Amino acid sequence: MTATATGFAPAKINLALHVTGRRADGYHLLDSLVVFGRAGDRLDLRAAPELSLGVEGPFADRIPAGAENLVLRAMEVMRRETGAQGQGASVTLTKRLPPGSGIGGGSSDAAAALRGLAQLWDMDLPGPKALLALGADVPVCMDPRPQRMRGVGERLNPVTGLPDLPLLLVNPGVPVATPAVFKALTERDGAPMEPLPDALDLPRFVEWLARQRNDLQPPAMALVPEIGTVLARMEASAGCLLARMSGSGATCFAIYRDTDMRDAAAAEIRAAAPPAWWVAEA
């Protein structure tokens, strides 16, 4: 047991997201390539008699700090599932990722809280069912490295051999409710991702990625037209190889030819962006 632990909750980025079917309970079957960025939230955990959560950082006022916060729910699950009854923790979440934005902030926070508590209390992590019940993106966020995610989020396989990706994230400052986007998805191809060839260099990887899709992008754009503005802005910047929306939006990512071009595009987009826009090198 330790008295304190820290956790990093990186942004989850769906480089491709194919909706391949729908379960009887309404949840959608996915085939998605997920990577994690270097932008993220931070958690500081301290052993304490009770469970408590404080939220600070630029997006602190946009998320609930009470029982419905995924970090507190994750902490309750950890107590229940691992028999850590009577143990507590005081957690400070520094919220740097915009909430409701398709980059898994809440799920990544929950995953980081579970990893931190496992360390703090010297306990095992909850089982896969309990993780999935917290949110479809929580299992993939438990192990923040490139993964192929299928099922509703429970079928996970690590992906190796991806090139370094100079990524930029831009969010237009409009929160998106995931269920509304799935509801607005009326047409879809249904095909899974093409097999990913081994050990690709950046141009070949982008060539492959350009043939994949995010099926949630058209319905999200119909709900939030600013997504189109963000994508056009990224596509117009020098060195942009591909721009696409992540998850159910509205955050979009772009892949650049190299990190210098990415950094230049970040500076240029930041300088001209409306105040509500969030721009992060990932």
Contacting range for ligand C5P; rule: CB under 6 A; set: 9-17, 91-99, 123-131, 177-185 = 177-185
Decide if residue 8 touches ligand C5P (CB under 6 A).
no
Decide if residue 136 touches ligand C5P (CB under 6 A).
yes
Residue 24 CB, shortest distance to ligand C5P, in Å, is 12
Decide if residue 137 touches ligand C5P (CB under 6 A).
yes
For ligand C5P, the binding residue among 97, 131, 152, 231 (CB under 6 A) is 152
Site size with ligand C5P, rule: CB under 6 A:
11
With a CB cutoff of 8 Å and minimum separation 6, the contacts of 179 are none
- Closest to ligand C5P by CB, 31 or 226: 31
Residue 83 CB, shortest distance to ligand C5P, in Å, is 25
Residue 28 CB, shortest distance to ligand C5P, in Å, is 4
Out of 31, 137, 201, 263, the active site residue is: 137
Residues 46-65 that bind ligand C5P (CB under 6 A): none
Decide if residue 135 touches ligand C5P (CB under 6 A).
yes
Decide if residue 139 touches ligand C5P (CB under 6 A).
no
DSSP-assigned letters across all residues of the chain? --SEEEEEEEEEEEEEEEEEEE-TTSPEEEEEEEEEEEEEEEEEEEEESSEEEEEESTTGGGS--STTSHHHHHHHHHHHHHT-TT-EEEEEEE--SPSSSSS-HHHHHHHHHHHHHHHHHT-PPPPHHHHHHH-TTHHHHTS-S-EEEEETTTEEEE---PPP--EEEEE-S----HHHHHHH--------PPPPPSS--HHHHHHHHHTS-BTTHHHHHHH-THHHHHHHHHHTSTTEEEEEE-TTSS-EEEEESSHHHHHHHHHHHHHHS-TT-EEEE-
Residue 30 CB, shortest distance to ligand C5P, in Å, is 5
For ligand C5P, the binding residue among 52, 92, 178, 229 (CB under 6 A) is 178
Determine the residue type at 89: A
Decide if residue 30 touches ligand C5P (CB under 6 A).
yes
Decide if residue 27 touches ligand C5P (CB under 6 A).
yes
183 is catalytic: no
With a CB cutoff of 8 Å and minimum separation 6, the contacts of 77 are 114, 126, 130, 133, 134
Decide if residue 153 touches ligand C5P (CB under 6 A).
yes
Contacting range for ligand C5P; rule: CB under 6 A; set: 154-162, 176-184, 192-200, 232-240 = 176-184
- Closest to ligand C5P by CB, 179 or 275: 179
Please report the sign of the dihedral spanned by the C-alpha atoms of residue 263, residue 267, residue 269, residue 274: positive
12 is catalytic: yes
> Rule CB under 6 A: which residues touch ligand C5P?
27-28, 30, 135-137, 152-153, 178-179, 182
Q: Catalytic residue numbers?
A: 12, 137
